[in-house]
Amino acid sequence: MTDDDRIKLEPSWKEALRAEFEQPYMHELREFLRQEKAAGKEVYPPGPLIFNALNSTPLDQVKVVILGQDPYHGPGQAHGLCFSVQPGVATPPSLVNIYKELHRDLNIEIPRHGCLQSWADQGVLLLNTTMTVERANAASHANKGWQFFTDRIIQVVSEQRSDVVFLLWGSHAQSKSKLIDGTRHLILKSVHPSPLSAYRGFLGCGHFSRTNKFLEERGLAPIVWQVPAN
C-alpha cells in the first residue's frame, strides 16, 4: 500500500488519493493490518478486493454513492462493495430490505443472489467507510485509520464531480453529509435498511426512483437497478 507500483488502484483514484497513501495514519493502518495477519487472524475482504469499490467505479464515472459502514465478517461474504456479497452467498438481511424497496419503488424483480457488481459497473460507488474487518468480529477495524481515507474519498467525489446522488442510510452514513457540497449534489437520507430499522422509513423512501429522476433531469443515463440473474 505504499509505493505507486504496489498500489493496485484504478488510475483516476490513484491520482486523486496519491497523497493519502503517504499520510501517517495510512502507515499506521498498514502496520495494523500486517500485525493482524501475522497473528493468524483472517481479514476480510481478501487483499485484492479491499479496493474493489474504487477499481469497479472510476472517479470520472461516479454518479451515485451508497455508503456502508463495515464489510461483512462471515467467510466468503465481503468482496469490497458495501451491502453486496459474492455470488453463491445468501443475501444478507439489509440487502433483502433494499431489494424489497426496489420492488416496491420500481417494481423490480427481487434477485436470487446478492452480488451488486452490476451497480458498481454503472457508476454506483458502493463504499464501506471501514474497508476491512476481522472474521466474526464486527467493527473490529473501525477507528484504525480507514475513516480518514474514506472521508477523503467522499470529499474528492464532492469536489471533483457534479450532480452525484449520495444515498445516506442510517446515522453513520448521515454523519458524512458534512463532507458533501449539497449545492452541487443530491443528498437523500433514510434510516438504515437493517431489519432493526427498515420499517421506520427505509421501506417506502423511494430513493431509487428519485435517484434516476435526478440523473435523467440532468441528461445522465439512469441506473439499471435490476440485478442480472447470474
Residue 18 and residue 11 in contact, taking contact as beta carbons nearer than 8 Å: no
181 classed as catalytic? no
**CA gap 23, 18 in Å, rounded:** 10
3-state secondary structure of 155: helix
Burial (CB count within 10 angstroms: exposed 0-12, middle 13-18, buried 19+), residue 216: exposed
Active-site residue, selected from the candidate residues 3, 70, 105, 163 = 70
Cell numbers 446515522 correspond to 171
* Distant-in-sequence, close-in-space partners of 124: CB < 8 Å, separation ≥ 6: 57, 63, 64, 65, 66, 116, 223
* Distant-in-sequence, close-in-space partners of 85: CB < 8 Å, separation ≥ 6: 72, 77, 78, 79, 91, 92, 95, 113, 114, 115
**CA gap 44, 70 in Å, rounded:** 10
CB atoms within 10 A of CB 215: 20
CB atoms within 10 A of CB 126: 22
Active site residues: 70
